[in-house]
Amino acid sequence: MPEITGFSFPNDIHVTWSLMIVMYPYITGFVAGSFIVTSLYHLFDRQEFKPVARLAMATSFAFLLVASLPLQLHLGQPQRGPFVIITPNFTSAMAGFGILYSFYMLVLVLELWFVWRQEIIERARRSRGMKRALYAALALGTYDTSAEAIEIDHKAIKILAGIGLPAACMLHGYVGFIFGAIKANPWWSTPLMPVIFLLSAAVSGIALLILLYQVYAKLDRRPVVATCVQALASWLWFFLILTITLEELELIVMAYEKSESWLIISELLTTRLSFSYVTMQMIVGGLIPLILLAVVVLMNRYLHEKVRNTLATVAAFLTLIQVFSMRWNIVIGGQLLSKSLRGLRSPYEPEIFGREGVLMAIALFVAPFVILWVFDRVLGIEEPPGADGHGNPPAAPPPVEATAASHVP
C-alpha cells in the first residue's frame, strides 16, 4: 500500500500509467528526433549532416518498429489494441495513434526504400538463391539504376521528407497533447505540453545520433567528420536551450499565478520528485550539458577534435538522461498527486520483472539497436564508397565485408 501524505481521493492512490507509458514518449521521441536530423540533410540540403543522414533514417525506423510495444504491453486488454483502428473515437487524441503511426510508418518505409534502392539492387545482383529472392522482392522486380531513375528517386525522397517531417512531429506531438489536454490534472494541463514534448524529442534524437555516430564510425572503421559533430552539437544546444526554457517557464508562470494547484505541485517537486526533477532533469541533465555544449559551440575554433568529440558525447549522454527524467516526472509525477489537490502518494516503484517492469523497459530500449545491427547486415547503413550519386569524393576505406564481394574486375 502506498503511503499518502494529506488526503488523496480513494481511487487516486493507484498509478495507472506505468513505466511503459514513460518509455513510449521516450521511444517516439527518438523516432521524431532522428527524423529531424535526417531531414536536415534530405530536405534542407544541409551538407554537414550527410555523414549521419542514413544512420539517422535507419535509427528512426528501428525505433519506430519498437514504438507500439510499450503501449501494447501496458493495455489492460492488449488483444483489443487493434480496436483503436477498428472503432476509433476521434475526440480522443489517443485514437490518433493508429492513423499517425501507420501514416508515418508508410512515409518512412517509402523514403527508406528510395534511399536504399540502389544498394538493394546491387545486393540482388550480387547474391544467389534465397538472398537473391529476398533482395529481388525488396526491389519489386525493377533494376533501373540509370541517372534518370536516380533523379526520380531524389525527387521522391525530397517529397517524402517534406511529408515525413510534419508526420514525425505529429507522431510525437500528439503524445504531448494527450497530457496537455487533461484539464483534470494541473501538472499536465498546459498548452505548452505538445511543444515541450516535441522540442524534447529533437533533443533526444540529436543526442542519440551524436552517440550512435561515434559508435558506428568506430565499428565501421570510418573517420568521424568534425563538421558533422559540430553541427549536431550546435543543434543539440539550440534545442536544449529551447526545451529547458519552456519547461522552466511553465513552472515560473505557475508559481507566479499561484493558482490552487501550485501548493501541491510545489510540494510534489520538492519532496517526491526532488531527485528526479531538480537533480536529474535540471542539473545533471540540463545545466551541465548546457555548459559543455556551450564550450563546444562557442570555443569551436580552439578545440582539439578528440576534446570536441568527448564533450559532445558526454553532453549527449547526459541529455538522454534529461529527456528520460522529463518523461518520468511528467507521467509518474502527474499521478503522484491526487485530484483532491490535497494529497501526494509515495513514489512509484516499478516492478523489476513483469510486462511493465524495469527489465522490459531495458529490453525495449536495447531492441532498436539490435534492429539497427540487422539492418546493417541486410542493407548496410552507409553507402559503399564510390556509389554516391552526388559526385562527392568517396569515403574512407570500405568495411571488410563489402570488399571481397564488390570488387568485380
Partner 1 sequence: MEHGKHVFRIVILVAVILAVVLLARGFLVPKTYGLYGRYRGANVAQQMDARPVLHGGAAACGECHSDQATKRAAGSHRTVSCEICHAPLGAHILADGAVVKPPIDRSFTLCARCHRKVAARPAKFPQVDLDQHVNGPVEGKVCLECHDPHSPKP
Partner 2 sequence: MSDCHDGCNGSRREFLSGTLKLAGGAVVTVIGASALASSSSSPTRAPRPGGGEYDWDEHLWAYLVDTTKCIGCGSCARACKAENDVPEGFFRTWIERYVVGTEDSHVDSPNGGMDGFPPVQVGFVANKSFFVPKICNHCRATPCTQVCPVGASYRTKDGAVLVDAESCIGCGYCVQACPYGSRFIHPATHTASKCTWCYHRITKGLKPACVTVCPTQARQFGDLKKDGDPVRAVVEHDRVQILQGHLLTEPQCYYTHLDKEVR
Partner interacting with residue 400 (select from partner 1, partner 2, none; CB below 5-8 Å by kind): none
Q: What residues numbered 55-94 form the site for partner 2, per CB under 8 A? A: 71, 74-78, 80-81, 83-84, 86-89, 91-94
Tell me the C-alpha distance between 212 and 56, whole Å.
9
Nearest distance in Å: CB 90, partner 2: 9
Q: Is 403 exposed, middle or buried (0-12, 13-18, 19+ CB in 10 A)?
A: exposed
Q: Give me the DSSP letters along 95-157.
A: GHHHHHHHHHHHHHHHHHHHHHHHHHHHHHHH--HHHHHHHHHHTTT----SHHHHHHHHHHH
Is 389 a binder of partner 1 (CB under 8 A)? no
Residue closest to 233 by CA, chosen among 248, 214, 261, 250: 214
Q: Is 146 in the site for partner 1 (CB under 8 A)?
A: yes
DSSP designation for 357: S
Task: Considering the complex, state which of residue 72 and residue 142 has its C-beta at the smaller distance from partner 1.
Answer: 142
69-104: string of b/e by CB count within 10 Å (b at 16+)? bbbebbeeeeeeeeebeeeeeeeebebbbbbbbebb
For position 178 contacting partner 2 by CB under 8 A, the verdict is: yes
Sign of the CA dihedral 181, 185, 188, 190? positive
Q: Which does 93 bind (CB under 5 to 8 A by kind): partner 2, partner 1, none?
A: partner 2
**Is residue 148 a contact residue for partner 1 (CB under 8 A)?**
yes
Size of interface with partner 1, in residues (CB under 8 A):
20
Query: Site mask, partner 2, residues 92-121, x = CB under 8 A?
Result: xxxx-x------------------------
Kindly tell me which residue out of 1, 3, 79, 86 binds partner 1, with binding defined by CB under 8 A: 86
Distances (CA, A) of 168 to 81, 104, 160, 190, 197: 22, 6, 11, 22, 12
Q: Is 163 in the site for partner 1 (CB under 8 A)?
A: no
392 near partner 2 (CB under 8 A):
no
Answer with the entry of partner 1, partner 2, none that 14 interacts with (C-beta below 5 to 8 A by kind).
partner 2
Structure-block grid coordinates of residue 133: 529472392
Among 152, 283, 291, 359, binds partner 1 (CB under 8 A): 152
Whole-number Å distance between alpha carbons of 120 and 179:
42
- Residue 85, interface with partner 1 (CB under 8 A)? yes
From the list partner 2, partner 1, none, pick the one residue 2 interacts with, judged by a Cβ distance below 5 to 8 Å according to partner type: none
Burial class (CB in 10 A: 0-12, 13-18, 19+), 357: middle
Q: Which is nearer to partner 2, 163 or 182 (CB)?
A: 182
Residues that bind partner 2 (CB under 8 A): 6-12, 14, 16-17, 71, 74-78, 80-81, 83-84, 86-89, 91-95, 97, 147-148, 151, 178, 182-185, 334-335, 338-342
Q: Tell me which residues touch partner 1 (CB under 8 A).
A: 82, 85-87, 89, 91, 106, 110, 113, 117, 139-142, 144, 146, 148-149, 152, 156
